[in-house]
Chains A and B, each alone.
Chain A
Amino acid sequence: EVQLMESGGGLVQPGGSLRLSCAASGFTFTNYAMGWVRQAPGKGLEWVSAIRGNGGTTYYADSVKGRFTVSRDNSKKTLYLQMHSLRAEDTAVYYCAKFSKIHDYGDDFDYWGQGTLVTVSA
């Protein structure tokens, strides 16, 4: 059974930093690209970042480019999102999600974690 478990969310002041983690199990982690998707309170889904299975290629939404860094440790089957210079508008539930396509980026996400809440406030 595929499981994705995010952690690391919490309350942080504007301008602060936070690192999210996503522990994966139930599939061959290194074979799949992974992504982060966030959802502000009462709002829709927004794609944030994606990383290839070998960690070699990464992509970011314009809203987080230069502030967020996605990485992965395939030996630990864990995905990370390092967030710097956080703003109030970054407040959201952050989901990690697995791409459905093996060995490459795909068009869709077939499994999602339960999400972790990041609140940016003074």
Chain B
Amino acid sequence: SYELAQPPSVSVSPGQTASILCSGDKLGDKYASWYQQKPGQSPVLVIYQDRKRPSGIPERFSGSNSGNTATLTISGTQAMDEADYYCQAWDSSTWVFGGGTKLTVL
């Protein structure tokens, strides 16, 4: 079965750039999506089709996907961006999530 791997945690200072990686076999051949989940809340789609932002998602969120790695980049990170982030991709009629990365803004 297909697997996506994420680092458990990433730390960033306010105003700096945070990068969260997601790795999977030939992930670049698939579309990667990213979800933000704050404590006690439902997930929110922040990036789809590798690099597209849904309406209402700030421009500081961007994405890329190539080779075996998809990357979520948050530029000018704000305290409100502290959350868990999950990557996700579709493979063989299954929708696979990465294990999640806790982003700490300190």
Contacts and interface: CB of A to CB of B under 8 A. Distances in A.
Most buried by A among B37, B48, B86: B48
Interface stretch (B9-17, B19-27, B71-79, B90-98): B90-98
Most buried by A among B43, B86, B99: B43
Query: How many interface residues does chain B have, given as a range?
Result: 20 to 34
Interface string A87-101: 000000001000010
B95 A95 contact: no
Nearest to B33: A108
Contact of A61 (B35, B88, B94, B100): B94
B45 interface: yes
A24 interface: no
Contacts of B43: 37, 45, 95, 109, 112
A107 B42 contact: no
A47 B35 CA distance: 13
A110 B48 contact: yes
Contact of B48 (A35, A107, A114): A107
A101 to B, nearest CB: 10
A111 B88 CA distance: 14
A107 B93 contact: no
Contacts of A62: 1
A100 B51 CA distance: 15
In order of increasing CB-CB distance, the 9 nearest A-B pairs are: A108-B33, A47-B95, A107-B31, A44-B100, A112-B42, A45-B97, A108-B48, A107-B90, A59-B93
Given A44-B100, A95-B42, 7 more contacts: A45-B37, A45-B88, A95-B43, A107-B89, A108-B31, A109-B88, A110-B54
